[in-house]
Homo-oligomer: A and B are copies of this chain.
């Protein structure tokens, strides 16, 4: 399976152009859009979403991961094999939390773009061909490098910020639910939010936090929009509350 994890946007031709390259290199392998609308240019938000949203995929899945505000710059891209899943993309921090949490990981440095590659669309011309060949061959041969190349040491293990607002206004954070106790209270834009198991466990219009279906702490309002009612955006910080 080939999976796209990008900030390209659902609009426009970019997702389709990448999918077409993948199909040509790996005929018959299904291509799935996991995220097409990651917060634009926000590598850190994407980096904390990546391990949570890719852990459920089977071994052998190949992820094309592109949030690349510096496209065309000099830094080489990376290929990872982490716990049996493959990841291809620019190495600007995007893989840092994933690499720290992986049990078994190897890393390779991509060669520079081939002649004729567009300097503004490495997703299509650099990363997709590598990912397609990986999906077909199941292995990568190239320059293996230390996995420390993937780390961004200043970044925390969990990110106490909102990293994505979904269609319903739910605010997904970079904090794993498994890192806090179930009776934790969070201070979110001046509101104290308590834990609930899920939406149907609280009253209509009530705000709460829960561990979402991908393991991250998420702020929500039952049948309402948490982003509007709590004043949240991608990047909003929160902290532990008084309880």
Contact = CB atoms under 8 A, between A and B. Distances in A.
A240 interface: no
Nearest to A34: B16
Interface in A194-225: 197-201, 210, 212-214, 223
A121 B199 CA distance: 11
Nearest to A16: B34
B125 A213 contact: yes
A40 interface: yes
A76 interface: no
A37 B125 CA distance: 23
Contacts of A41: 223
A31 B16 CA distance: 10
A120 interface: yes
Assign chain A's interface to a size class.
35 or more
Contacts of A53: 13, 17
Given A198-B120, A199-B120, A164 B12 contact: yes
Contacts of A138: none
Contacts of A15: 33
A57 interface: yes
A204 to B, nearest CB: 9
A201 B3 contact: no
Interface string A19-44: 11001100000111111010011000
Contacts of A9: 166-168
- State the 10 A-B residue pairs at the shortest beta-carbon distance, nearest first: A9-B167, A121-B213, A118-B213, A72-B198, A16-B34, A119-B198, A73-B200, A72-B200, A12-B166, A120-B198
